[in-house]
Structure 1
């Protein structure tokens, strides 16, 4: 492997010398020809190998091809035998049943998180005119509902999932909402993604790379122990990272982590003032990843268990730096020191992460994904969808009527 990486590096160095460009920023990767730092850590081979394998999405992407592979992968378990009505009957226990009939949206009365359902319904109403008749079960809880070992008990649409689940990923309710975790209720909540992306991108423009603080940064609740080591690192090396909990839930393994009061929250746009932003899972996927990538700061993405629908086209070393979920305090310290010593390299990855989200995660892409997902999913239904008693019609005016048969 070492020989292979060295050969890749030498080939790309030669390419850059001859052509004077790199794939993404019209220059050779930073520090490629510079003397090595004193650190034993060397990320250049990882980056060069990732760039050599990376195939960027086409700009615009009206057919949603950028994220289409995720749809194919999630629907593949049902491709041979299709989806029966009995399977949907089983799935109803894991979420809320929606029906699209003659381009009108209906759902059953119960939804465990009404605001999340309402946010998804805003999206469905946008694309209803392009949908065939279909029905699907939407899970609005944080956790996926179909463990891999359970087999194909029935399809469930979930906002995030893992390799140990068979849930079908769909864009999170948070793309289209003004309600969200307290940390991110500024200026328009976690969602209304079209508003938030403009707001954060503007903040990133006001704080260019050279003006950012050369610190790692994290603010959030202790919703996962994966976050502990960066908080410990902040206490041990405050000159490297500013990481604090805004909400602390103690357990018998973590009493040593927090000895002071919880920190104040910081709006997501203000995270852009730091060069290195940590992204952690929470109880499931953290919906902040897309926001902090827009900052033009380098995202250190910890762990890879949890996925959202767009993660498949985000590539480690191309758009962000991957960090193992069990990385030690000293591992994190060494990484941050290396990034400080290789500033141009860090800036280039940060810029590629920003460009991906800005160009390929627009609200138009979210709507396109929902549309393509439901159109492809509908082809797998092996029965004719009918309206049943006890369903509300979802309308643009939110004035709902119940169908009683």
Structure 2
């Protein structure tokens, strides 16, 4: 659901300040700036490490691409573990600077790649691993070589760069397809409420609110001693209520459900 509609969709569209004509963009390297937000995945080691955001940044930076972390709180917290020399950090790039390049990287972090929306709405080629998380953008329906150039393995980056340089017209078509995909998310003029951007969103939110209300009612009916408790990260059940209490509880819930119908 577009629960943060303004952040993800309202302020993503190109402006005169961020627009750079295709022929004026650099094709020297892939660019990216961001935070090391998936340290847990990186810390697993093995293939998970290689596929993580941190793993991608390390691999692409080592191959000469302008892919770096910004020195934010998350970077400072993890620097000694991921970048003790500081070589993987650089000054931030705003959208206008990133758009001077034809090939811009998008990487998932703790969840979806939040910058993917504005990247697809602009006029550079998005290079990224196949999405694994789904949001209102419908990432799972984006097609490689149609809406973006796939890069599931950072060791394949030079092959992707070579292909993009040799197929400039195809890259321009990929950009056009990405822009067309994003048009369905363009906000309706005058629509201000990000939670009710259209009637379909309002209907889904209303259905969810009804479910949450019913769940909250049931939780309020549940004796405290029946709720699961957390002990050292392991789930265990607390002592049960007497059978009579169970019966009264079930009867009360059934009555409320019948009344709701």
Q: How far does residue 342 in structure 1 lie from its aligned partner after superposition?
A: 1.4
CA distance in 1, matches of 2:204, 2:150: 28
Q: Is the 1:269–1:295 contact (alpha carbons within 8 Å) kept by the matching residues of 2?
A: no
5 Å-filtered alignment, 1:48-197, equals 170-173=1-4, 175-176=5-6, 191=7, 193-194=9-10, 196-197=11-12
Q: Deviations over 1:55-74 (max 9, x none)?
A: xxxxxxxxxxxxxxxxxxxx
The higher-RCO structure (CA 8 Å, 6+ apart) is 1
| 1:284 aligned residue (97, 103, 111) | 111
Contact 2:104–2:124 (8 Å) recurs in 1: yes
Q: Per-residue deviation at 1:339?
A: 1.2
TM-score normalised to structure 2 length: 0.61
Query: How many angstroms apart in 1 are the aligned matches of 2:141 and 2:16?
Result: 24
Q: CA deviation at 1:267?
A: 1.7
Q: Which residue of 2 aligns with 1:217?
A: 31
Deviation of 1:374 after TM superposition, in Å, equals: 2.5
Map Cα deviations across residues 275-330 of structure 1 (whole Å, 9 max, x no partner): 11111111111211101112211111224221112224433332112332xx13x3
- Match of 1:217, SS state, is strand
1:371 to 2:202 alignment: yes
Q: Distance in 2 between matches of 1:235 and 1:381?
A: 46
| Counterpart for residue 272 of structure 1 | 99
Q: Is the 8 A contact 2:107 2:113 kept in 1?
A: yes
> Partners in 2 of 1:251 and 1:228 — Cα distance?
13
Residue 178 of structure 2 corresponds to residue 353 of structure 1? yes
- Residues 124-149 of structure 1, C-alpha deviation per residue, up to 9 Å, x if partnerless? xxxxxxxxxxxxxxxxxxxxxxxxxx
2:151 counterpart residue number: 323
Change (3 A) 1:201 1:235: same
Distance of 1:201 and 1:229 partners within structure 2: 33
1:212-238 superposed Cα distances (whole Å, 9 cap, x missing partner):
111211001111342334433454443
Alignment RMSD: 3.1
**1:260 matched to which residue of 2?**
87
User: Which SS does the other structure have where 1:306 is aligned?
Assistant: coil
Does the Cα contact within 8 Å between 1:320 and 1:353 map onto a contact in 2? yes
Deviation, structure 1 residue 337: 1.9
Q: Which has the larger radius of gyration?
A: 2
Match of 1:181 in 2: none
Q: How many residues matched? A: 190
Which runs of 5 or more structure 1 residues have no equivalent in the other structure? 1-169, 177-190, 387-405
What is the match of residue 88 of structure 1?
Answer: none
Unaligned runs of 5+ in 2: 43-51, 218-261
Shift of 1:203: 4.2
Separation in structure 2 between the aligned mates of residue 380 and residue 244 of structure 1, nearest angstrom: 43
